[in-house]
Structure 1
Amino acid sequence: MRTSRPARRRTAVIGTAAAALLTVTAALPAFGATTTPPPVRPAAQTAAQPARGGSPESTVDRVADFYGAYIDAVYDEDGTLAGQLRTHYLRADLRKRLASWESKNHADGVLRAQNVPVKWSVSYDGSGTGSTYTIVTLTWDSGSHPSTSRVAVRSSLETRQITDIKEAPATPAR
């Protein structure tokens, strides 16, 4: 003798399968309809940008901060900001020496040039006798033949102010 139990199970399974099929079918586009694929981003937009950071306690970071802000101010022709940056980051006796150098050379003493670089980088060059030494590399042309110059910067470990800026020796050829 058969009971109605198996029939109920069959109906429940068929009903569940039909509901699942309707759900999947509803999610699909209508016959002949097209869907727009998601936009493809160019590689330049998806590439990770270099991280930037620093510490107010690091004299090397402070030199990098100064040169980055100073170059921006000179590039933007903001003499007021450039002067304020010099007052904050450069020791008073260096500011006097730079003024004398600039008068003789008709150029910016911080950059050791008459124009503004298109790029800059700062690298650690040693420490000793209460000072940290860094080399600032300035890139002058973004064309196919960029030129660079280097500036040697000395900073006080005690005050973290820049105490000297001079032209660095050329990098030896390899």
Structure 2
Amino acid sequence: MSKHSAKRTTSLTLTAAAVLTLTLALVPSASADGSTGQQAPAAAAPAAAPAPSVSGSPEAAFTRIADFYGSYIDAVYDGDGPTADRLRAFYLSEPLRAELREWEEKNHADGVLRAQNVPLRWKVTSTGSGTGRTGATVTLTWGSDTTEVHVQADPATRKIVSIRD
């Protein structure tokens, strides 16, 4: 084997290692919450995370559920009771508002959140539509604990008609 061909082999080996390193850095392994569950290799350059985005439609009952919970939690977190009340009036059906007033009087807590305080994070997940209702599970994160609230909306009116633990 000549000296020239030995250099070529070494060069190809280094190139293959570089390609493998770049490939591993660019192939994410994400979990449902967006975390990778592992550290990136030290030699790999960090890949840019995609920009967060939120989308929806004013015609979709599921979007209304997500919009309500996001806005409501913001208002309660900011201590803006009048805005929280207006959001309830706009997004919740009158029978549900009456039911929540009774629940809150009995439980001394916020009926929408089913708690006395405000969650640090929230996530709304569709549970599908059927029997004239659109369903969602709202996961509320309180530090290291989470709770779930099951919500239904009427697709025709897009009003939230049920909130259950």
Q: Answer whether TM exceeds 0.5 for this pair.
A: yes
Unmatched runs of 5 consecutive residues or more in structure 1: 1-42, 168-174
Unmatched runs of 5 consecutive residues or more in structure 2: 1-45
- Match in the other structure for 1:147: 145
The alignment partner of 2:122 has SS state of strand
- Rounded to whole Å, the distance in 1 between the matches of 2:122 and 2:108 is 22
The alignment partner of 2:63 has SS state of helix
1:94 aligns with 2:96: yes
The alignment partner of 2:89 has SS state of helix
Following TM superposition, by how much is the alpha carbon of 1:47 offset from its aligned partner in structure 2, in angstroms?
A: 3.4
Which one of 64, 68, 71 corresponds to residue 69 of structure 1? 71
Following TM superposition, by how much is the alpha carbon of 1:155 offset from its aligned partner in structure 2, in angstroms?
A: 0.3
1:56 aligns with 2:54: no
Higher Cα radius of gyration: 1
- Rounded to whole Å, the distance in 2 between the matches of 1:64 and 1:109 is 17
Following TM superposition, by how much is the alpha carbon of 1:48 offset from its aligned partner in structure 2, in angstroms?
A: 2.8
What percentage of aligned pairs have identical amino acids?
A: 55
Matches within 5 A, 1:8-157: 47-141=49-143, 146-157=144-155
- Rounded to whole Å, the distance in 2 between the matches of 1:95 and 1:165 is 10
One-letter amino acid of the structure 2 residue matched with residue 132 of structure 1: T
- Rounded to whole Å, the distance in 2 between the matches of 1:47 and 1:134 is 27
Following TM superposition, by how much is the alpha carbon of 1:126 offset from its aligned partner in structure 2, in angstroms?
A: 2.1
- Match in the other structure for 1:160: 158
One-letter amino acid of the structure 2 residue matched with residue 63 of structure 1: I
- Rounded to whole Å, the distance in 2 between the matches of 1:135 and 1:100 is 22
TM value normalised by structure 1: 0.67
**How many aligned positions are there?**
121
**Moved beyond 3 Å, runs of 4+:** none
Following TM superposition, by how much is the alpha carbon of 1:166 offset from its aligned partner in structure 2, in angstroms?
A: 0.7
The alignment partner of 2:106 has SS state of helix
- Rounded to whole Å, the distance in 2 between the matches of 1:81 and 1:93 is 20
